A and B are shown apart, each in its own frame.
Chain A
Amino acid sequence: MPQNKDTNGTLRQSRRLPLATAIGGLIWLAVIATATVLMLAHAGAPGEASTPPAVWPASSKVPHDQARPTLVLFVHPRCPCSRATIGELAVLMAHAQGKVNVRALFLRPAGTSTDWAESDTWHQAAAIPGVAVQGDDAGTEARRFGMKTSGDAALYAADGRLLFHGGLTISRGHAGDNPGRDTLLALLHNEPTPATQTPVFGCALFEPGTNGLASTECRKERLQP
């Protein structure tokens, strides 16, 4: 190695250099670890809690299937986190084809054009068999169902009872196994479920202050006590 052939002075220098580098490396690791913790904390922070009605709201224009459960999913069409939700919905539908009537409602804020909502997420959802996609003008239906965060879903039984509500991802935009999908599949297969609601990770459906929200960030729907 070159340092073995150097003079003593150079050797001393070369020994100090790795030590300095090692200290620098530790600092580097600490910085990255802190940033990673912050990133994971942000990713794991759920959106604002939703408060869906216990029974299917009669004023809703969304068709309610009287023969089988109906899943209503509220999505902000531009929310990147909700792509993972649609991905999980696709997985869900692959395992529960015909067992549920799914309505994906894409927010269409007031003052936006019709095609504003027809994002890639819209088309992604529309491509899933058994999923009906429609726009939600000014978030009327979202308010009606008490939804505040993109990716929030509510499963109503054929008789109108609320069976489940929450998100279908484990964190912000993170695909993969998650309790929401597992719970829904259990409900649709008439299996016992550990919980009836899960946190939801996604963008806020409404601007801050318009629906009692203080942040533009994706919020978790708080778990009901």
Chain B
Amino acid sequence: MTNEPEAISSAVQQRSTELFHGHQDEIHRRTDRMFAYLMTVQWLAGIVAAVWISPRTWAGAQSQIHWHVWAAIFIGGAITGLPVALACLQPGRPLTRHVIGVGQMLTSALLIHLTGGRIETHFHVFGSLAFLAFYRDWRVLISATVVVALDHVLRGAFWPQSVFGVLTSSPWRSIEHAGWVVFEDFFLLISISHGLRELRGIAERQARLEAVNQEIEQRVELRTAELQKEIGERKRSEAERERIHKQLLDVSRQAGMAEVATSVLHNVGNVLNSVNVSCSLIAKALRNPKWTHLAKSAELIQAHSDRLPAFFADDPKGKQLPAFLMKLTGHLAEEQEEVTEELVSLQANVDHIKEIVAMQQSYARISGVQELVSAADLVEDALRMNSLAMERHGVRVVREYSDAPSILVEKHKVLQILVNLIRNAKHALDDRTDDDKRVTLRVGLNGNNCVKIAVLDNGVGIPPENLARIFEHGFTTRKDGHGFGLHSASLSARELGGNLTAHSDGSGLGAKFTLELPVEPKTTSV
């Protein structure tokens, strides 16, 4: 771990060196191109100058093309040719720029010669040195300076008049001329040194920047991979949650249906109790010994059939028998009436069971089909499923139905919700000791084009901490509860495009559950 920064630093250093050489190469190539154009222009300018200044040489009235013109074309072409060719074919190579440096100095010499040694043309030497400094390579300046020095030394030795204008020249004259070149070289070398230092600095900064960018890119890639992994996991988790939710929904639906079924069975069970009681009473009536007394009375009369008058007149039993039979007849008539009543009740109870089962069957059969139904009718059906329990527990039902349009719904879902709410309301009233057990059912239209069904009770109420969790799956306050009912009811309400809300002012202050359903059904995902 401790070697990592060193490794990074070494990598940056290496990259910095690469960039530095890259920049240098770019500068060399660019300057090569510049000189390729410049030297070509210089060559053409030399030809123009020769044609302009010394087009022809004369002898009296005769003339011919001046030697300068040929020199400008051919010597100038020779000087220019190789540097330009190298600049085009081998740009960026050290030899190319050295040849360019030499060629540029030779061009200076040629131009000076073609312009008759004009002092102004000598400025070309100094300008060329400055241009050569564009390479930021001090060696090129040395090459060029050596050419100038050799030119002066050799011509000073062999043709002093061509360079110094005198037939004999002092060596100091060469040194003076070279001195001015060296003078310029000195400052150009300083400038090149600064330029290279700046270039190195730029390369270092760029290398660092690249390293930072690379690190950022790596982090981004890493983070992207992590995010993609997270997204994948999230999607899987989402799918799993969706699956569990669907499963839960199915379970809740089944639980809701179970609620209804339980409610139905509860009611049926209650009715069956009455049926059982009725049957017991009838059986008991049929087993009554009074019929034995009637048989004994008949046997007694049969035994005294030959002397019935004496029997009724003299026999003590005979004397009591008519009164006894009258009384017996009265009792039997009463029993018959009681049995008949029980049979009527029994028949009514059986009919009620039949009715409940038929209603349940009607709701069970139409699952998944939307029907246009009245909210009040749905409330009444739900109430009917709980009617006996409500009656048995002495719960008073208050109906407050307003005009409301029919709603297009899957009515078994609404029934499940309402059965659940009414049962809950009844349970909330179980602990109430007084006789004022009241469930209020309201049907109306809210301002949002929704039918509103409210189930209110004046039971135990809901504390605020429970109110927030009332629709959570598994949340229940009843000992025998499983926490599916309200959760399932809430989900069903949302499936129907509506919603189910609960309100309570607190413990002991009753509760209000409101189911809102759109008149026109909406598709809502849960």
Contact = CB atoms under 8 A, between A and B. Distances in A.
Contacts of A28: 78, 81-82, 99
Contacts of B117: 84, 173-176
Contacts of A110: 61
Nearest to A175: B117
Interface string A171-205: 10111111100000000000000000000000111
B90 A216 contact: no
Given A32-B106, A35-B74, A207-B61, A17 B165 contact: no
B159 interface: yes
Interface in B97-115: 99, 102, 106, 109, 113
A13 interface: no
B269 interface: no
A1 B162 contact: no
Contact of B116 (A18, A25, A35, A83): A83
B109 A171 contact: no
A216 B159 CA distance: 24
Given A35-B74, A174-B117, A177-B164, A22 B64 contact: no
Given A84-B116, A207-B59, A31 B78 contact: yes
Interface stretch (A55-63, A74-82, A125-133): A74-82
A218 interface: yes
A17 B90 contact: yes
B61 A178 contact: no
A79 B58 contact: yes
Given A18-B93, A36-B75, A173 B61 contact: no
Contacts of B67: 39, 42
Contacts of B21: 1
A204 B161 CA distance: 22
A56 B159 CA distance: 35
Given A43-B162, A84-B117, A175-B117, A78 B74 contact: no
A39 to B, nearest CB: 5
Contact of A109 (B60, B99, B109): B60
Given A39-B75, A204-B59, A170 B165 contact: yes
A78 B62 CA distance: 10
A90 B78 CA distance: 36
A66 interface: no
Interface string A11-22: 000000110011
A204 B95 contact: no
Interface string B479-523: 000000000000000000000000000000000000000000000
Interface string B41-75: 00000000000011111111111101110010011
A212 interface: no
B162 A205 contact: no
A80 B60 contact: no
Interface residues of B, number: 46
B60 A107 contact: yes
Interface in B329-367: none
Contacts of A207: 59-62
A73 to B, nearest CB: 16
A54 interface: no
Interface in B140-199: 155, 159, 161-162, 164-167
A139 B82 CA distance: 47
Given A25-B99, A32-B78, A40 B55 contact: no
A44 B79 CA distance: 21
B66 A35 contact: no
Contacts of B81: 28
Contact of B60 (A36, A44, A206, A218): A206
A210 B60 contact: yes
A40 B75 contact: no
B53, B55, B113, B165 interface centre (most CB from chain A within 10 Å): B165
B223 interface: no
A112 interface: yes
B25 interface: yes
A112 B60 CA distance: 11
Nearest to B94: A18
Given A24-B82, A43-B113, A179 B167 contact: yes
A215 interface: yes
A213 interface: yes
Given A18-B95, A35-B74, A176-B165, 4 more contacts: A29-B102, A36-B106, A76-B58, A216-B58
Interface of B: 21, 25, 53-64, 66-68, 71, 74-75, 78-79, 81-82, 86, 90, 92-93, 95, 99, 102, 106, 109, 113, 116-119, 155, 159, 161-162, 164-167
6 contacts: A28-B78, A44-B161, A78-B63, A174-B117, A175-B118, A216-B59
The 7 nearest A-B residue pairs measured at CB: A176-B165, A80-B54, A216-B59, A177-B165, A204-B59, A207-B60, A109-B61
